[in-house]
Amino acid sequence: MITKSIKHTLIACLLCCGGAAAFTACNDFLTIYPTDRIVAEDFWKKKADVDQMVDGCYLSMIDYSIQERAIMWGAYRSDELVKLGDYNDNTLDNISAVILLPTNRYTSWSNFYKVINNCNVVLNHAPDVMIEDPEFTEGDYQVVRAQMLALRSLCYFYLVRAFRDVPYSTRSYEDDSQVEAMPQSAPDVVLQHCLEDLDEARKYIMKSGSYGRNDWRNWGYMTRDAVHALMADIYLWRAAMTHSAGDYQEAIAFSDSVINAKDAYYKLYQELDITSKEEDRYHLEDGDMAYSTIFGTNRGNSHESILEWQYNGRNNSNTALENYYYESGNKDNHQQTSILMASQLFNSVATNANTADAQKVYMSKNDYRFWNNVFDANNEEAQQLAIRKMVATDDIATNLTALTVGPAKSNSRSFDEFRQNWIVYRLTDVMLMKAEALVETAASDSDRVTLKRAFDLVQAVNKRSMAKNATDTLKFENFKSKEDMELLVLAERERELCFEGKRWFDLMRYCYRHMTGVNISQRLADTGAWPELYQPMLTMVIRKYSNDGGGDAVSFKMKSEPYLYWPIQESEVKVNSLLNQNPVYIQEKSTSKN
């Protein structure tokens, strides 16, 4: 957006299908008005014009490229995913070997900047509509402004976590004459802008539930809960980089805002007799029903969800998730294979999951997630496992004691009309964010009060997924130190949130918490000395590699902070002379094709 030709980025696809009702309505006014006139005198006249553009911004977030990067940036580089063994893709092979070339297609950030520009366009033009249309009130404008500030901040947060130093702009670019070269800003600048915008947005943005019971917009639009979840996430990220106690406290506070609001929403709409006990305030689904309730096809948005990108399976199928994860059906009478598989970590079972040994993603046979997350669980011969989560539609059998090997691949979800939403934030994610922050605020290993608060959150998430008669549920006395508890939270996040685009970012935070010399006010290119990575984090990452030495090579190569991030796509550097390439990739050479 900032460096390439942007004429007609005023959102051709976004405007042609920018309607309400879960983005299903389409119009053809682009056949009447040229794109460059839509932003001029013939548009931005009515409230409906603004509403359409806002819907279009959300529609642009379900673009294939963005969903693909949510998977690749947030999960593939971690220990949870591997390439399907016989899938031929040199780019994925290079990523696994930490040969992250600037020609790699996954290094493109253009679609995130398109969303950012779309938001800036709305912010630039929406005030004028108040003059043209009395029905577009100051209150309407403030809600729209809050939506765009929040969505823009989410995009910038993705970019910071993927590239670290990124260009930041609040200007809307609406024709080629406006294009200008722009340098990157260091993370402290971008993250602070995001937090300030979100703080402003939360004053005016709609509360969850404001659209009415079971209305998709309570989960499909940025709401106050979504803003607070994002703020908790950003504070947690920044705290990991700076070791700021104040930022950890902010992460706890905003997590609490979400937890309290979800409790209030549940009490308002569920019409159930809710007790005042602490363990009841989360209202999590029981483990034998949680999977189908959260990920099943024939549902509305789960009450545990906070923000989901909406796919209806007809004109906006989630084809990126389908292509990368789906290996359980037929397409045109041919077996459909996924691009990615779950690593062997998901086939390992701890004899007693109630241990402090969280260096492995330990699972229990009494944990519904062990059987629901992947196909063929507990199959000793499997080195890779097909992903079941978000592919299958229903829970496995409720009698876990009868299972010896998990269900094999099946046609449990139609390949066509793949309508699985992508969950950006849900309640258990926020609960575990709070637990992570609490651990870091504990004064020492002997601060058992704070560590117990963190443990209670982990236990609430873990216990709901355990069979009712399980004997290996977590026990606080087995986690003796801050380190034990830190690793417990990290492991529970993997059990609960695997394949949801979280794991690599979780590992990055874990790494940063144990690094010294990180300077978020300085760009990587402005120094020749970078802090070393935390070796235990790398030890986790290489667990997915087979015993052929590949993991050792990766661990040896990933020495310093820049290796945590992607290079900037070569084409962007060529057209923007002010961009500085991630320094560790300037001299990267490979004969591999990307």
DSSP H or E stretch at residue 72: none
- Whole-prediction pTM: 0.92
Residue 536's nearest CA partner among 393, 325, 359, 361 is 359
Question: How would DSSP label each residue in 9-53?
Answer: TTTHHHHHT--STTTT----GGGTS-HHHHTTTTSS-SHHHHHHH
Tell me, rounded to whole angstroms, the distance of Cα 487 from its chain centroid: 21
Distance separating the N- and C-terminal Cα atoms of the chain: 23
The tens-digit pLDDT sequence of the chain (594 residues) is: 444 433 344 434 333 333 334 444 332 222 223 344 445 567 899 999 999 999 999 999 999 999 999 999 999 999 999 999 888 899 999 999 999 999 999 999 999 999 999 999 999 999 999 999 999 999 999 999 999 999 999 999 999 999 999 999 999 988 766 667 899 999 999 999 999 999 999 999 999 888 888 889 999 999 999 999 999 999 999 999 999 999 999 999 999 999 999 998 888 776 554 444 444 789 999 999 999 999 986 556 888 999 999 998 777 889 999 899 987 544 444 456 799 999 988 987 776 666 666 556 678 889 999 999 999 898 877 778 999 999 888 888 777 877 888 877 765 566 666 788 999 999 999 999 999 999 999 999 999 999 999 999 999 999 999 998 888 889 999 999 999 999 999 999 999 999 999 999 999 999 999 999 999 999 999 988 999 999 999 999 998 987 666 788 898 999 999 999 999 999 999 999 999 999 988 756 444 444
* Rg over CA atoms, the chain: 23
Tokens representing 556 are: 């040896």
Q: Which residue has the tokens 């449990």?
A: 412
